Amino acid sequence: MENQKINLMLESLSQIEDMMISKPSTSDVEEMRKENEVLVKTYNYKEFREIRALNGTEGLHDLGRQYVLNEQIHGKSGSFLFFTEDLKFVVKTIRKSEFYCIRRMVEEYKIHILQNPMSLLCKILGCYSLCTRGDEEYFIVMESMLKRSGMQEIYDLKGASVKRKGYSVSSLKEIDWIGNSKRIDLGNRKEAIISQIKNDVEFLKRHRIMDYSFFVSFGWKKRESVDPFSLCKDHNHMPENEDVHFGIVDILTQWTFKKRMERLFHIFCCKSNSSCLNPDAYMDRFLIMIETDVFK
């Protein structure tokens, strides 16, 4: 069933992107009706097209029909994600609340990305919905932080400690990071990168966003030229042919009444260091983790 859904998403995405190439977008919502009562919509196409231009992505109509699905890498609350065959893009289903979040902040998100070309925020390149038999599912397309190399370990870091133990090499967390004595040596780039991270999380705080993660992947190097902001080398903990890629992901969860109640429940259960914190406190804890535990 999951494979059928992925195939339908890729086919629908390709068709509506084909349509948008020849149609100037004048509306925040563009839609295309397919056979069998399938309706696909694209949102804020104009804004996302400007973000795509930053990395030379003209359109998403040629993602192909082949994909990589790793069941150990998954999203929150039942959402799932998969990668295009070349690992350049990732498609992820999102909750309705996350859909509303990106719709509300898309203009400011676009400005932030364009004004900060070295931003470590995940690059969202498109927002869509797929309607089948009365059900509507929302999904986004992002630039992938995984590259075509043999990935060894993937970490999801929030700065929390409650339920922060991974269960596989592609789903590691804070306890694993500390246990494996991981640190990244940025050399003379540390100040600039941390400054950019602070700028990025300040943007998230202004939009009342919390529960984001610092994504880190370690893998074997397979190419000569690299981007110094997405790739660095820790000579103390890694062999010389190993890469590190990192960035900030899961940036669409806002501090709501439901999250406030969740926070009170965690306090009541003596889980004060859970990932559920208000945006100000979450940002402070996240930056402490970045400066003291992630980078040397």
Write the CATH number for 114: 3.30.800.10
Domain extent at residue 54: 1-143
Domain's final residue, options 110, 143, 176: 143
One digit per residue, pLDDT tens: the chain, 296 residues? 478 888 888 888 888 888 888 777 678 999 888 766 778 999 999 999 999 988 788 778 777 667 777 665 655 556 788 888 888 889 999 999 999 999 999 999 999 999 999 999 999 999 999 988 778 999 999 999 886 556 678 999 998 776 778 878 888 999 999 999 999 988 899 999 999 999 999 999 999 999 999 999 987 665 444 443 444 333 333 445 568 889 999 999 998 646 655 655 555 454 555 567 899 999 999 999 999 999 98
Question: Are 93 and 162 part of one and the same domain?
Answer: no
Q: Write down the residue that tokens 């690299």 correspond to.
A: 226
d(CA 110, CA 51): 6
pTM: predicted TM-score of the whole model, two decimal places:
0.85
Bridge partners of 243, per DSSP, are: 219
d(CA 10, CA 66): 9
Question: Are 121 and 182 part of one and the same domain?
Answer: no
Bridge partners of 43, per DSSP, are: 29, 127
Two structure tokens written together for 285? 């804890």
- Residue 56's pLDDT is 81
Task: Please name the helix (run of DSSP H) or strand (run of DSSP E) that holds residue 15, with its range, or none.
Answer: helix 2-21
d(CA 146, CA 228): 15
d(CA 179, CA 158): 16
d(CA 130, CA 97): 16
d(CA 217, CA 120): 14
Is residue 186 within 8 Å of 295, Cβ to Cβ?
A: yes
Identify whether 228 is part of a domain.
Answer: no
Question: Are 111 and 188 part of one and the same domain?
Answer: no
Question: Are 93 and 58 part of one and the same domain?
Answer: yes
Write the CATH number for 273: 3.30.810.10
- Residue 97's pLDDT is 93
Q: What is the dihedral of CA 21, 26, 27, 33, to 10 degrees?
A: -40
Domain count within the chain: 2
